[in-house]
Amino acid sequence: MYKTILVPIDMAHVAAGKANVHLAARYGAEGAKIILLNVVEDIPNWAAIDLPAGLLEKSVESTQAELKAIAEASGMHMDVAVRTGHSYDTILDVAKEKKADLIIIASHRPGLQDYFLGSTAAKVVRHANCSVLVVR
């Protein structure tokens, strides 16, 4: 049983994320802290010039609302976090910051069953300091 579980969720594939949220509820010790995390990829400066102002902020806000809805639907208390940056670096940073003892991550996006691990999952598995449950 784990005390602090980080569940990184790709908002483009929420169904897989929700399944991992259920797993987190089962793997957590009594009183465990469960954190749902999405990383919104930074918009490079050269691209941001042509985009409406405040797009990144709006994306962070709507993602936060989506994660809160997933947490509420689980029927358990869960924290939500939305960060901007590169997905795998940020997942590893948050895991360290929150002292996670387990990360639950999907192996890859749906439909890519031939790949052993997706790019984010592979880097998280390789570099995490804690246990990682890779869900296929």
Q: Which residue in 70, 87, 94, 128 binds ligand ADP (CB under 6 A)?
A: 87
Among 36, 78, 106, 128, binds ligand ADP (CB under 6 A): 106
- Contact in structure between 91 and 37 (CB atoms under 8 Å): yes
x/- letters, 17..56, toward ligand ADP (CB under 6 A): --------------------xxx-----------------
Cβ contacts of residue 129 below 8 Å, gap of 6+? Answer: 95, 96
Q: Which long-range contacts (CB under 8 A, 24 or more apart) does 83-87 make?
A: 83/37, 83/38, 83/39, 83/40, 84/39, 84/40, 84/41, 84/42, 84/56, 84/60, 85/39, 85/41, 85/42, 86/39, 86/41, 86/42, 87/8, 87/10, 87/39, 87/41, 87/120
Of 119, 127, 129, 131, which one interacts with ligand ADP (CB under 6 A)?
119
Compare residues 32 and 90 and give the one whose CB is closer to ligand ADP. Answer: 90
Q: What are the structure tokens assigned to 33, written together?
A: 């802290």
Q: Quick one: which segment of 10-18, 45-53, 61-69, 92-100 binds ligand ADP (CB under 6 A)?
A: 10-18
Tokens coding 112 = 């890519």
Question: Which of 15/49 has CB closer to ligand ADP?
Answer: 15
Q: Which is nearer to ligand ADP, 24 or 39 (CB)?
A: 39
**Residue 16 within binding range of ligand ADP, rule CB under 6 A:** yes
Residue ranges in contact with ligand ADP by CB under 6 A: 8-10, 13, 16, 37-39, 87, 105-106, 108-109, 112, 118-121
